[in-house]
Amino acid sequence: MNASEHRPSAIFFYTARLHWLGKSYITQELEKAGLSGIVPSHGDILNELLHRTSCKMSELARLIHKSKSTLTTLVEKLERSGYVQRTPDPDDQRGVLVTLTDKGRRLAPVVENISKGLDEMLRSRLSAEEMAALEALLKKSVGA
């Protein structure tokens, strides 16, 4: 065996760096749009709600891979800012539905532009084939 076979891979290092680059880009774009009350962690919530009429808190937590307590904190902040509202689920006495307000729906172009910008950041560095391969390998790596 040669020395390189014993060296750990740098996959987690590079994925952490990619995550940091993305988070920095999102923060910068949110500030440009004058949305200082929103943080990158809110993006997953907003993105999911932009594609639904409403969503149960439990389902939203599952969709964005956050604990229920973390999601509650994030949703409360969005609610205080007027972007979402929470209402009792008429089909489940213990359930709560989260819905975008009109103010929240007006964030759609900002969320879409940020998503496109993140994609363009990668496309400027990778070919279409590399993008597809990377996406497939990352998806497989996380068991999705």
pLDDT band at 2 (very low <50, low <70, confident <90, very high): low
- The residue ranking higher by pLDDT, 124 or 7, is 124
Determine the straight-line distance between the first and last CA of the chain, rounded to whole angstroms.
33
Q: What is the 3-state secondary structure (H, E, C) of 58-110?
A: HHHHHHHCCCHHHHHHHHHHHHHCCCEEEEEECCEEEEEEEEECHHHHCCHHH
Percent of the chain whose predicted confidence (pLDDT) is above 70: 97
Total-model pTM: 0.81
Number of domains in the chain: 1
* pLDDT tens digits, one per residue of 25-60: 999 999 999 987 888 889 899 999 999 989 999 999
Rounded Cα distance, 108 and 42, in Å: 13
> Checking DSSP bridges between strand 92-100 and strand 84-89, what pairing results, if any?
antiparallel
> What is the extent of the structural domain holding 115?
12-133
Residue 1 lies in a domain: no
Residue 64 lies in a domain: yes
Looking up residue 73, the CATH number of its domain turns out to be: 1.10.10.10
